[in-house]
Chain A
Amino acid sequence: MDKPFAITLDVGSSLANHTGSWRTQRPVYLDRIPPCNSTCPAGENIQGWLYHAESGDYEAAWRVLVEDNPLPAIMGRVCYHPCEGACNRAQVDEAVGINSVERFLGDEALKQGWKLTPPAAESGKRVLIVGAGPSGLSAAYHLRRLGHQVRIVEAGPYAGGMMRFGIPAYRLPRAVLDAEVQRILDLGVQLELNTKVSDIRRTMQEGGYDAAFLAVGAHIAKRAYIPAGAAAHMVDAVSLLRSMEGEEKPMLGRRVVIYGGGNTAIDAARTAKRLGASEAIIVYRRTREKMPAHDFEVAEAMEEGIMIKWLSTIKRMGEGTITVEKMALDDKGFPQPTGEYESLEADSLVLALGQDVDLSLLDGVPGLEKKDGVVQVATNMMTGYPGIFAGGDMVPSERTVTVAVGHGKKAARNIDAWLGGKQYAPAPKHEAATFDLINQWYYADAPKTVRPQLDLVRRQTTFEEVVAGLDVTNALFEARRCLSCGNCFECDNCYGVCPDNAVIKLGRGNRFKFNYDYCKGCGICVSECPCGAIKMVPEPS
Chain B
Amino acid sequence: MLKQIEGSRAVAEAVALCRPEVICAYPISPQTHIVEALGEMCRTGALPGCEFINVESEFAAMSVAIGASAAGARSYTATASQGLLFMAEAVFNASGLGLPIVMTVANRAIGAPINIWNDHSDSMSMRDCGWIQLFAETNQEALDLHIQAFRLAEELSLPVMVCMDGFILTHAVERVDMPSLEQVRAFLPPYVPRQVLDPAEPVSIGAMVGPEAFMEVRYLAHAKQIQALGLIPEFAADFRKTFGRDSGGLVRAYRCDDAETIVVALGSVVGTIQDVVDEMREGGVKIGVLAIKSFRPFPLVEVREILQHARRVVVLEKTLAVGIGGVMSMNVRMALTQVALKGYTVIAGLGGRPITKASLHRLFADAHADRLEHLTFLDLDRKVVERVLDRERETRRSGPIAENILRDLGVVAARI
Contact = CB atoms under 8 A, between A and B. Distances in A.
Interface of A: 1-14, 17
B96 A6 contact: no
Give the interface centre of B194, B203, B206, B216 by most chain A CB atoms within 10 Å. Answer: B203
B208 A14 contact: yes
Contacts of A13: 204, 207-208
Given A3-B195, A4-B98, A4-B194, A10 B216 contact: no
A5 B195 contact: no
A19 to B, nearest CB: 11
Nearest to A12: B204
A1 B200 CA distance: 13
B205 interface: yes
A394 B157 CA distance: 84
Interface string B169-202: 0000000000000000000000000111000011
Contact of B195 (A4, A10, A12, A14): A4
Give the interface centre of A2, A7, A9, A13 by most chain B CB atoms within 10 Å. Answer: A7
A8 B195 contact: yes
Contacts of A8: 195, 203-205
A8 B202 CA distance: 10
A529 to B, nearest CB: 21
Contact of B203 (A5, A11, A14): A11
Contact of A7 (B96, B196, B201, B202): B96
Contacts of B98: 4, 7
Nearest to A4: B98
A441 to B, nearest CB: 13
A14 B207 contact: yes
Contacts of A3: 195, 203
Contacts of B206: 7
A242 B195 CA distance: 84
A2 B201 CA distance: 13
B216 A17 contact: no
Contacts of B202: 11
B204 A9 contact: yes
B203 to A, nearest CB: 5
B195 A11 contact: no
B220 interface: yes
B195 A9 contact: no
B411 interface: no
A363 to B, nearest CB: 76
A6 B217 CA distance: 7
B203 A6 contact: no
B209 interface: yes
A464 B216 CA distance: 86
Nearest to B208: A14
Interface of B: 96-98, 157, 194-196, 201-209, 213-214, 216-217, 220
5 contacts: A1-B203, A6-B217, A7-B96, A7-B97, A9-B209
A6 B205 contact: no
A7 B217 contact: yes
B207 A9 contact: yes
Give the interface centre of B157, B202, B207 by most chain A CB atoms within 10 Å. Answer: B207
Q: Nearest 3 CB-CB pairs, A to B?
A: A6-B213, A6-B209, A14-B207
A8 to B, nearest CB: 5
A1 B201 contact: yes
A17 B208 CA distance: 10
Nearest to B203: A8
Contact of A5 (B157, B201, B208, B220): B220
A7 B158 CA distance: 13
A255 to B, nearest CB: 69
Contacts of B196: 1
Give the interface centre of A5, A6, A12 by most chain B CB atoms within 10 Å. Answer: A6
A500 to B, nearest CB: 13
A4 B70 CA distance: 12
A507 to B, nearest CB: 20
B205 A5 contact: no
Contacts of B194: 4
A262 B21 CA distance: 70
A13 B204 CA distance: 8
Given A6-B213, A8-B205, 9 more contacts: A1-B195, A2-B195, A4-B98, A5-B213, A5-B217, A6-B209, A8-B203, A13-B207, A14-B204
Contacts of A2: 195
A7 B96 CA distance: 8
A516 B128 CA distance: 39
A473 to B, nearest CB: 34
B158 to A, nearest CB: 11
A11 B201 CA distance: 9
B203 A9 contact: yes
Contacts of B204: 8-14
A6 B208 CA distance: 9
A143 to B, nearest CB: 57
A2 B196 CA distance: 10
Contacts of B220: 5
A10 B203 contact: yes
A14 B208 CA distance: 7
Contacts of B195: 1-4, 8
A162 B194 CA distance: 80
B198 to A, nearest CB: 8
A7 B214 CA distance: 10
A496 to B, nearest CB: 15
A501 to B, nearest CB: 11
A3 B194 CA distance: 8
A502 to B, nearest CB: 16
A174 B247 CA distance: 90
A9 B209 CA distance: 9
Contacts of A17: 208
A17 B204 CA distance: 15
Contacts of A5: 213, 216-217, 220
A2 B214 CA distance: 19
Contacts of B201: 1
Nearest to A9: B204
Contacts of B157: 4
A4 B157 CA distance: 10
B414 to A, nearest CB: 36
A367 to B, nearest CB: 71
A6 B216 contact: yes
A342 to B, nearest CB: 69
Contacts of B205: 7-9
Contacts of B217: 5-7
Nearest to A13: B207
B195 to A, nearest CB: 6
A13 B201 CA distance: 15
A310 to B, nearest CB: 57
Nearest to B196: A1
B225 to A, nearest CB: 16
Nearest to A16: B208
A238 B96 CA distance: 85
Nearest to B218: A6
Contacts of A14: 204, 207-208
A105 B271 CA distance: 79
Contacts of A6: 209, 213-214, 216-217
A3 B217 CA distance: 13
B149 to A, nearest CB: 21
A520 B203 CA distance: 23
A18 to B, nearest CB: 13
B72 to A, nearest CB: 13
B201 to A, nearest CB: 7
A4 B97 CA distance: 9
Contacts of A12: 204
Nearest to B194: A4
A257 B219 CA distance: 99
A13 B202 CA distance: 12
Contacts of B203: 1, 3, 8-11
B393 to A, nearest CB: 50
A290 B194 CA distance: 78
A80 B385 CA distance: 77
A181 B96 CA distance: 74
